[in-house]
Copies of this chain bind each other. A is one copy, B any other.
Amino acid sequence: MLRPNLLLRAEEDRKPMANPPDTTKERQQETETPVSPLFGSCPIPIFEHKQIVLGHGSGGKLTADLIDKIFLPAFRNPVLDKLDDQAVVSIGGARVAFTTDSFVVTPIFFPGGDIGRLAVHGTVNDLAMSGAQPMYLSAAFILEEGLPVDDLRRIVESMRAMAAEAGVQFITGDTKVVDRGKGDQIFINTTGIGIIPDGVNISADRARPGDAILLSGYLGDHGMAIMSQREGLEFEGAIESDCASLHTLVAAMLAAPTATPDFIHCLRDPTRGGAATTLNEIAKRANVGMHLNERAIPVRESVRGACEVLGLDPLYVANEGKLLAVVRADMADAVLAQMRAHPLGRDAAIIGEVVPEHPGMVLMKTEIGGTRVLDVMFGEQLPRIC
């Protein structure tokens, strides 16, 4: 599967990737705080934008600013303040997980998936990251006038198949249509409800020094699949999105044999902003440090090569079928064994540990023996990746 030699061919009628799309540059110049159009190399942006820029949807620093300065002050409450990927509330005696996501990915069909598939997996995964059994989904479509009905059918069929596979039901929905040029083919919101089993208590603020950090498989597949499709690039060893529903993997992890339960402290799927941003969020929420070992982090050669060519870092590229787990140290090997026995965790690895030093910071020992600080993503690396 891994191919050491990467062949990059830009289609002749498309822009080579050395020049990112011009539109980005033009757009960002219209804002007061210019953000460099170069991928992953933005100068420090401050929030005081007067207009929304693409980076506000990156899942990184600018998104956090928008949430901290606009949304949280208005909507603040103890459930929302936890800033997990799902809210947990008590309903009728059950602990219910509740999460929402709008999907605006472009292109809407890509190697390994489509926007409909993503809309099911994304929300199922946000539920699963609380340990919940996903139960019910809503689907709300914003269609652009002129969308081919055949495309819609294909997307709906994906959603049907993925929901059936994940064992969730769509029980309510909504459809809006916007004028041509006021949308982009199709946007899908899915919102989900799941039930958290007794004894499970997973939240970003529960990471503790000594905990092990586990990753379920190769990083960066989804982002690079979208990127290659979007820019018309072909890589040897075609890169496919990893998008998948992870709740059965989580159930397998929770089933690791132990005398003392509650050994999974945090779970997150590293989507927008990638693994580096996700780990930073956990480190900040729990006020702990993290040490990663670059050598232990699984990245396919094809993805690594493509990232090198495009000037991207796999640690910041979005995934749609991977999870990061912070696990009590004594249970790390048992959880790892459970993961590796599951089809979606075959390539799982222990990639680092939680430490008491430098709280809120993630450090990585690089392959060549140095130490690198991994910060949250600034600006926008790959817009509209999900």
Residues of A within 8 A of B (CB): 23, 27, 30, 49-57, 63, 66-67, 70-71, 74-75, 77, 79-80, 86-87, 89, 91-94, 96, 98-104, 106, 135-136, 138-150, 152-153, 156-157, 159-160, 163, 169-184, 187, 189, 191, 193, 195, 383-384
Contacts and interface: CB of A to CB of B under 8 A. Distances in A.
Contacts of A53: 145, 177
A74 B159 contact: yes
A72 to B, nearest CB: 10
Contact of A102 (B52, B91, B189, B195): B189
5 contacts: A52-B145, A57-B176, A91-B193, A96-B193, A100-B174
B153 A77 contact: no
Contact of A100 (B63, B135, B183, B191): B191
B66 A175 contact: yes
A189 B70 contact: no
Contact of A104 (B50, B153, B176): B176
B104 A156 contact: no
A71 B173 contact: yes
Contacts of A27: 145-146, 179-180
Most-contacted residue by chain B among A50, A157, A180 (CB, 10 A): A180
Contacts of A179: 23, 27, 54, 184, 383-384
Nearest to A186: B52
A99 B8 CA distance: 46
A74 B156 CA distance: 7
B147 A52 contact: yes
Nearest to A160: B74
Given A77-B171, A179-B27, A144 B193 contact: no
Contacts of A142: 102, 104, 142, 187
Contacts of A157: 74
A94 B71 CA distance: 30
Contacts of A56: 143, 175, 177
A156 B70 contact: yes
Contacts of A136: 87, 89, 98
Nearest to A58: B177
A172 B89 CA distance: 11
A144 B104 CA distance: 11
Contacts of A173: 67, 71, 75, 80, 100
